[in-house]
A and B are shown apart, each in its own frame.
Chain A
Amino acid sequence: MQAMGLREPRVDELAPIFVGMNEDVFGENFETLDTVLRNTDVTTISSTMIVALGRGTFAHRRLLRSWPDYIERSKIELGKRGLDAEKVLRGLKL
């Protein structure tokens, strides 16, 4: 995830990350997923990756203690980058 750094990924580059969520990192282990959300430094990844991680875990948000904090950090970081964070992350509520 952080290998791409701040470069915005293309669709085909990002797709394996969704597949990899299960195979390599997340599985059914929500503790691991929670750790990923907690430890992801949003200042070091692209805006698309920030959004993909927040939106991609939205459906499981109630099982992820770190999800609200991740979304808050994402809002701040996307705002610093000049993006309309409220719009980009709209609908992402607990």
Chain B
Amino acid sequence: MSLLSEGARPFQNLTLLGIAFRRYEDQSHVGLLVRHRGTPFICHLAQHRNLLFEPVTGPFVWDDCHFLDADPQSATAIAAFIVSLGTNPTNVRAISYGIRYPRRRVFNANGTVNHLHHGAGHTCATFVMEIFEHFGIELLNKGRWKGRVADRIWQRKIIKTIENAAKERQSVELQQHADALKKNVGAARYRPEEVASAAASVDIPLSFDEARSLGMQLVLHYKNEFA
């Protein structure tokens, strides 16, 4: 497994553009690594309307995006776009959480974000996918993706979490968003571990079977690393 912890491979070893993965209890999370003012930063969609760009710390495993090893020009361009996206404060609250991959592009050419209607948005994983797709690069073969029972269960669980947050905050906007998300249960789910595995691969896009296999290996590797 090529994704390693900070202890095994310091974040400072980042070349130009990397991928970072971690687990929170039974959840997976993924973000992109770039160097900003000499420091490795992570750009990740942490929650609904909460895009973070911050120095990377904590129990992540990471690697360079190896499919760009022989292409520092594209890696630099994408990393620069991520810096422009992450350092624009208007973007922090702009990206909704969504379980269906948006049909409409989220990013503008200049690193600002298009606001999406209720129910549309990104997971941490599809946020990473769309960054690359914005530049013409597909990490996963989305056209041949397969539905999984466990993904529907996860989608319902995440909607319940958003509903609970809406009640707690007494947020009508968040409740409307959760209601809209319910219509998308059953949409293709691209798991964080699958996107992380693809981004660290030499050859992309990964097929469903390749991504699923590498994703499962990554989760096991992570659990061993931080057991």
Contacts and interface: CB of A to CB of B under 8 A. Distances in A.
Interface of A: 8-23, 26, 33, 47-48, 50-52, 55-60, 83-84, 87-88, 90-93
A14 to B, nearest CB: 4
On chain B, which size bracket covers the interface?
A: 20 to 34
A10 B108 CA distance: 22
Contacts of A17: 80
Interface in B15-32: 16
Given A18-B110, A20-B110, A87-B71, A9 B76 contact: yes
A15 B80 contact: yes
6 contacts: A14-B77, A14-B80, A16-B84, A48-B73, A52-B80, A88-B71
Given A11-B80, A22-B112, A51 B73 contact: yes
Interface of B: 16, 34-37, 70-74, 76-81, 83-84, 87-88, 105, 107-112, 134-138
State the majority secondary structure of interface residues on A.
helix
Nearest to B85: A18
A13 B76 CA distance: 10
A14 B76 contact: yes
In this complex, the member of A11, A55, A58, A91 whose beta carbon has the largest number of chain B beta carbons within 10 angstroms is A11
B200 to A, nearest CB: 18
Counting from the closest, the 9 A-B pairs by CB-CB distance are A22-B110, A14-B80, A91-B136, A52-B77, A15-B83, A18-B84, A51-B73, A21-B110, A55-B135
